[in-house]
Amino acid sequence: MVGRTPEYLGKKIGRREIQYVMLAVLAVPLVVLVPACFAVLTAVGRATLGNAGPHGFSEIIYAFSSCAVGNGSAFAGLGSSTFYNIVLGLVMLAGRYLPMIPSLALAGAMAAQPLRPTTREGTFRTDSILFMLLLVGVALIVSALIFWPADALGPIDEQLRLAAGKSF
């Protein structure tokens, strides 16, 4: 991209379009991790945990992740309470609709641009296997960097405690 603006379907991809993409990408982790942090740090969030310690942390993270991107399931150890019913319902709504706002803004920004003839010289083609592999690779790396530390923290700590012979 040295000296050239990337193009896609005859439209230039600029700074504003990339900002919309990043807002859409970061919306779901924000919706999952912020309420999960609040639930872990407050007594009302820890009150209905069936398992304390790292397994309880995994239960909380899974419940919020599942509600943000799916239909909302939880581990059996996480009890039902008014706090979780309300917060998980709000997370479910935000997880569905919050990423739509920057996505629609991106669509509007791209639609407002005039169609330009595509230049092949110096432009990274989007109809190649290399582009597809890079796109999938970047999506996997970004997803792993956002969610893997929180998802792995509970099981790793649990296994280290079991290996050391400590109870929860």
Q: How confident is residue 108, by pLDDT bands cut at 50, 70 and 90?
A: very high
* pLDDT grade for 71, boundaries at 50, 70 and 90: confident
Tokens encoding 160: 């280290």
Residue 168 near residue 52, CB atoms below 8 Å:
yes
Which phi and psi (to 5°) does residue 17 adopt?
-65, -40
Q: What is the mean pLDDT of the chain?
A: 84
> What's the rounded Cα separation, in Å, for the pair 62 and 6?
37
Q: What percent of the chain has pLDDT over 70?
A: 92
- Using left for φ > 0, alpha for ψ between -120 and 50, and beta otherwise, residue 7 falls in beta
At 119, is the pLDDT very low, low, confident or very high (cuts 50, 70, 90)?
low
Residue spans of alpha helices (H) in 47-128: 54-69, 82-97, 100-112
- For the chain, the structural domain boundaries read 7-164
**pTM for the structure as a whole:** 0.77
Distance CA(131)–CA(126), nearest Å, equals 6
pLDDT in the model for residue 1: 43
DSSP 113: S
Per-residue pLDDT tens digits for 33-59 = 999 999 999 999 888 888 777 888 888
Q: Which residue in this structure is represented by tokens 């407002």?
A: 112
Q: What is the share, in percent, of the chain residues with pLDDT greater than 90?
A: 31
Using a 10 angstrom Cβ sphere, with 0-12 exposed, 13-18 middle and 19 or more buried, the burial of residue 100 is exposed
Position 168 scores a pLDDT of: 56
